[in-house]
Amino acid sequence: IGGTMEEGESPLETLQREAVEEIGCPVELWSASSTIVESPAEVRVVTGLDVDGLCPAMVWEVTDPTYQVGAKVVVYLAQATRDPQPGDLPAILLADPAWITTMSSEFVSTREAVNAGVEVRSRVDMPENGLFQPVNTLRRLLAVRASHCEVFKQLMQGPPA
């Protein structure tokens, strides 16, 4: 879930608005134990970072010229509060976070996702050989998981008990 902050919005307000637009419901958020901070110059792990009262899982810097280069993307841990459905997205994948740890950074077919136990919900017909590509935050997470494997595993565990 992602999008651009509208004037006067906090990061959390933006996230909730985008969640409703993209998956049809708000999300429940929780703090990560640490934050992966990724920029073109480095990847580091910090503790105690507070953005809107929560510790984000990741903060990364935009480098893609089709977006606002230099902007910071704040990533929180969250889960849907109701049954998510594709809103303004053509499809969404409902997956156990552990599945993300097994993904390559390349494309995943509809068939591969379904065979791995992922539920595909779509507003359009998705052929079995249709491809999903990790983009933006997920691509960044997959790129840094090797260098910070333990932190990545902690992020994928879900909400604290």
Three-state DSSP state, 15: helix
Give residue 13's pLDDT band: very low, low, confident or very high (50, 70, 90). Answer: very high
Task: Specify the pairing of strand 43-46 against strand 35-38.
Answer: antiparallel
* Segment 71-127, tens digit of pLDDT: 888 888 889 999 999 998 888 889 887 787 777 767 888 999 999 999 999 999 888
CA-to-CA separations, 132 to 91, 93, 119, in angstroms, rounded: 9, 9, 13
